Amino acid sequence: MPRLILNADDFGLTSGVNRAIVELHQTGVLTSTTLMANAPASDEAIELALANKGLGVGCHVVLADGLPVLSPLEIPNLARRTDGTFRETLGRFVRDLYSPVSTTSLRSALATEIEAEATAQICRLQSRGLHLTHVDTHKHTHMFPPVLRPVLRAARACGITRIRNPFDSAWSRRAVAGIPWLRRAQVTFLSGLEAHVLRIIAEHGFATTDGTIGVMITGSLDSVSLARTLSHMPECTWELVTHPGYHDADLDSVRTRLKASREIERQALKAIVDFPKIELINFESIASNGTDASIGS
């Protein structure tokens, strides 16, 4: 029987996102979520997480498109000098991360700042009494080794040994249709990093899943794509990455491309109950010594 972690990202983004996540968990569908430490509704999300003990909660480490926990003066290469926020887009983040003009000392400083900021975000959640099951990153920035290594060090220092496999599995990419060619090309191209990233995860003694589902269809996950994907799921351990929510005024006020799609996902995910031959788990159900960190096919 396939094992599935059904995770919702962006817990804490808005009250409407928080409400959708808790409702899906309480209906027996959602098993896991990752919480932003410094988002508009983070305090509310923390209280909801504490009140729903069966919900696995990880830290959604934000290094782009958000606000840091540390002072911008402490992370001058990671936060922008103009307004103290992170870079707005993944593209800008990656461009600066791999800039050919970056010196060895600058890359080293950036790694130090990523580790410090990730540690601060994790510690903020733990200080509120949350037991964190794992970490992942906003916009999957830990798929890049210069980010992955400091995030792993931060997580390990905070007692966490599980992390998201940030790559869509090859079988799940084949299972879905109607994906814009550019999105498909981007996800497929980045999958070339998977083997290297999984080796780093294993070398650090972290556990992860056999693969992830839903990265390619982020923003277009509906009942049809969900059914097609789940019906093709092999008997391994997978994570379904989702972004449910209510499209309300609060969501309109934050910068995200995922607005109307959150309502569609929220409705589609209820159909998980129609797939009884799937074992729903959270990250604490996978081995903590890295034995699940195999490459999905």
At 3-49, the pLDDT tens digits run 999 999 999 999 999 999 999 999 999 999 999 999 999 999 999 99
Question: Percent of the chain beyond pLDDT 90?
Answer: 70
Domain containing 39: what range? Answer: 3-285
Residue pLDDT, tens place only, 232-283: 899 999 999 999 999 999 898 888 888 889 999 999 999 998 888 899 999 9
**Would residue 294 count as lying in a domain?**
no
Predicted confidence at residue 297, as pLDDT, reads 29
Q: 293 pLDDT exceeds 80?
A: no
Give residue 295's pLDDT band: very low, low, confident or very high (50, 70, 90).
Answer: very low
**Would residue 194 count as lying in a domain?**
yes
CA distances from 165 to 93, 113, 274, 282 (A): 20, 23, 26, 14
Residue 105: burial class (beta carbons within 10 Å; 0-12, 13-18, 19+): exposed
**Would residue 223 count as lying in a domain?**
yes
Instruction: Please state the domain count of the chain.
Output: 1
**Would residue 183 count as lying in a domain?**
yes
Predicted confidence at residue 54, as pLDDT, reads 96
Predicted confidence at residue 288, as pLDDT, reads 62
More confident residue, 111 or 259: 111
**Would residue 290 count as lying in a domain?**
no
Predicted confidence at residue 291, as pLDDT, reads 42
Q: 132 pLDDT exceeds 90?
A: yes
Residue pLDDT, tens place only, 158-200: 999 999 999 998 888 888 888 888 888 988 888 899 999 999 9
**Would residue 86 count as lying in a domain?**
yes
| CB-based contact 211:168 (threshold 8 Å) | yes
Q: 289 pLDDT exceeds 60?
A: no
pTM: 0.92
Question: Percent of the chain beyond pLDDT 70?
Answer: 97
Q: What is the CATH number of the domain that holds 141?
A: 3.20.20.370
Predicted confidence at residue 296, as pLDDT, reads 35
Q: 66 pLDDT exceeds 80?
A: yes
**Would residue 295 count as lying in a domain?**
no
**Would residue 280 count as lying in a domain?**
yes
Predicted confidence at residue 9, as pLDDT, reads 97
Residue 174: burial class (beta carbons within 10 Å; 0-12, 13-18, 19+): exposed
* Lowest mean pLDDT segment, chosen from 30-39, 56-65, 88-97: 88-97
Predicted confidence at residue 129, as pLDDT, reads 97
